[in-house]
Structure 1
Amino acid sequence: ASAACRAAGAAASASARPLTARGMAYLPMVYDDLPGRGGVLSDLFTRLLRERVVYLTGPVNDQAATAVGAQLLVLEAQDPHADITLYVNSPGGSVTAGLAIYDTMQYISPDVRTIGMGQCYSMGSLLLAAGTKGKRYVLPNTSVMVHQPSGGTQGTASDIAIVAEEIIRTRSRLIDIYDEHTGLGVDALTNLLERDRYFDAEETVAHSIVDEIVAKRSQDDIK
């Protein structure tokens, strides 16, 4: 793998290491037979990156945004025309971190195929919907949840009013993004995001968050 690919893979590894039963970070290694280099050991995320696969798992935070954004930019530099596949399994998290990932997805040249698995809640659902139209998928037992942003503050009445105004502005921005990618309309989305709304795979397709349910990977279309 190139140095850039290895560096981006390391960033992904740092942000998404699975845990063993003892709580110790453990990242499995896989054996690769690379042309001109023979057999090498690679961590899982570097191996996936060579297949143009990015994996977002766990909370959406600044560390995840850095790792995912770096991988997207590296893959664009390697080939600006080949699709990138982004797997999403996230309970959501920071709006600003999620929007950093979203903006990078829209900024780069390659189409970004999104595949939802496990849970795609809050910002996770927005990133799932933000994939290229016609290339957004969900696995059959995925749970998806949408809602409006929330927040709290302490301080003077003026400070509280400022925070409340920012939450309203953020909600409006998120509704506009959902509308751009689902076409449901601002009024319908305003009502939809009023409370936590959970969708199964079929409902996720019905609300145009994704285009299709996939139960079996296609060797031609989906990595």
Structure 2
Amino acid sequence: MSDSYNTNNMLPKNVMIEDCKGNRDTEIITHQFKNGRLFLVGTIDQRMAVDFISAMLVLAEEQKDVEIIIDSPGGEVSAGLMIYDILKSYKYKITMYCTGFAASMAALILAGGQKGRRFILPHSQVMIHEPLISSGFGGSATSIEKTAQSILETKAVLNKILAEHTGRSVNEINKATKDDNFMTSEEAVQFGICDEIRSIF
């Protein structure tokens, strides 16, 4: 079996690229990166945020437009906001595609993309909700009160961002995020998280 194939699922890991130096094997993910495509896939945490921001910095140095493929259940608020801030400050075009699922912080990142360039595939879904309390929550009454206040402040920040990018009022966002709010591709466009249902190709 050739090393260019993943023996678990038989999908190719490498692609043959022809350039001025001739033919050579290149990892598919590396090939995509060189063409300005990044993947925001899996749980959003600090490590993902750092890797993502590092890649964006390289693409900014090369003055490249970027395509971002999103399939994520969300994750840490602080990591998600790091990614959001970097995307908002990027000077070149960013096109986003929701492929599969964009939930929680991933949905906020998708909504925060450049207007007219936030796409979703026909059978993909989006989900928005309030910030969740992490497991192991406890402590003194005072510390619990402070934590609750911090969560409410985080909710206000996130809902303000969603309101800004969807054209909805903060009150509408508060109601929409009260429970896990799953949306089809059509509903995500109607709500204002995405601009259009479109294939990547």
Do both proteins adopt the same fold according to a TM-score greater than 0.5, normalized to the shorter chain? yes
* Native 8 Å contact 1:53 1:84 kept in 2: yes
Q: Which runs of 4+ in 1 moved over 2 A?
A: 18-21
How far did residue 61 of structure 1 move? 0.9
1:132 lines up with 2:108 in the alignment: no
**Letter of the aligned partner of 2:13 in structure 1?**
P
Name the % identity: 30
How far did residue 19 of structure 1 move? 9.8
* Native 8 Å contact 1:73 1:108 kept in 2: no
Correspondence for 1:31 among 16, 30, 45? 16
1:180 lines up with 2:164 in the alignment: yes
Q: How many residue pairs align between the two structures? A: 193
**Counterpart for residue 3 of structure 2:** none
How far did residue 168 of structure 1 move? 0.4
- Classify the secondary structure of the residue corresponding to 1:42: strand
**Counterpart for residue 78 of structure 2:** 96
CA distance in 2, matches of 1:134, 1:29: 33
- 1:79-118 equivalences under 5 Å are 79=63, 82-118=64-100
TM-score normalised by the chain length of structure 1: 0.82
**Letter of the aligned partner of 1:71 in structure 2?**
A
Gaps of 5+ in 2: 1-5
How far did residue 27 of structure 1 move? 7.9
* Native 8 Å contact 2:97 2:200 kept in 1: no
**Counterpart for residue 24 of structure 2:** 40
TM-score normalised by the chain length of structure 2: 0.91
Note the alpha carbon deviations across 1:108-150, whole angstroms, 9 max, x for none: 2112111001111111111111110011100000011000101
Correspondence for 1:145 among 122, 127, 151? 127
Cα distance change, pair 176–19 in 1 and its aligned pair in 2 (3 A): farther
CA distance in 2, matches of 1:102, 1:162: 26
Cα distance change, pair 55–154 in 1 and its aligned pair in 2 (3 A): same
How far did residue 83 of structure 1 move? 2.1
